[in-house]
Amino acid sequence: MPLEGHWRKQKTPLRKLTPRERRVGVAVLAVTVAAMLVVIFVAGIGFSRSGPEQGCIRVVVAGKTGGEVVAGCGTQAEAICAHSAKFDDPRSRDVTANCRAQGIPLTADASPEAGAS
């Protein structure tokens, strides 16, 4: 059974905040919100990466522990494309599609026009 005045005593604050304490609280909240907005803004536009250069491939494919980047330029890109063209799995299809988009032959002795068809 509740005692008389018990609820009021439990809900009454010990003391009220002073105007200075309220201003400090508002300032801390404003700085925190501003910092969060800066982090979101920088993460959203600050680290974009342009596409690969001509004659290079860079594609993110499914790996054992998540996204894996397959990248190469020149003869290394041609070797990656020729190797991927031998298989018919989603990973290889992604790599060969990127090879076609970059105009890299899918066989070691083919021209770029033959690989793009």
The per-residue pLDDT for range 59-70, each reduced to its tens digit, is 888 888 888 888
Mean pLDDT for the stretch of residues 5-32: 90
Tell me how far apart the alpha carbons of residues 70 and 60 are, in angstroms, rounded to a whole number.
6
Q: Which amino acid is at 88?
A: D
Residue 20 has pLDDT above 90, yes or no: yes
Model confidence at 42, in pLDDT bands (50, 70, 90)? confident
Residue-level pLDDT at 34: 97
Residue spans of the domains in the chain: they are: 56-115
CB 57 within 8 A of CB 46: no
What is the reported pTM? 0.49
Question: Which pair of tokens denotes residue 51?
Answer: 């596409």
CB 104 within 8 A of CB 112: yes
Question: Which pair of tokens denotes residue 107?
Answer: 């066989």
Tell me how far apart the alpha carbons of residues 115 and 103 are, in angstroms, rounded to a whole number.
7
Residue-level pLDDT at 115: 40
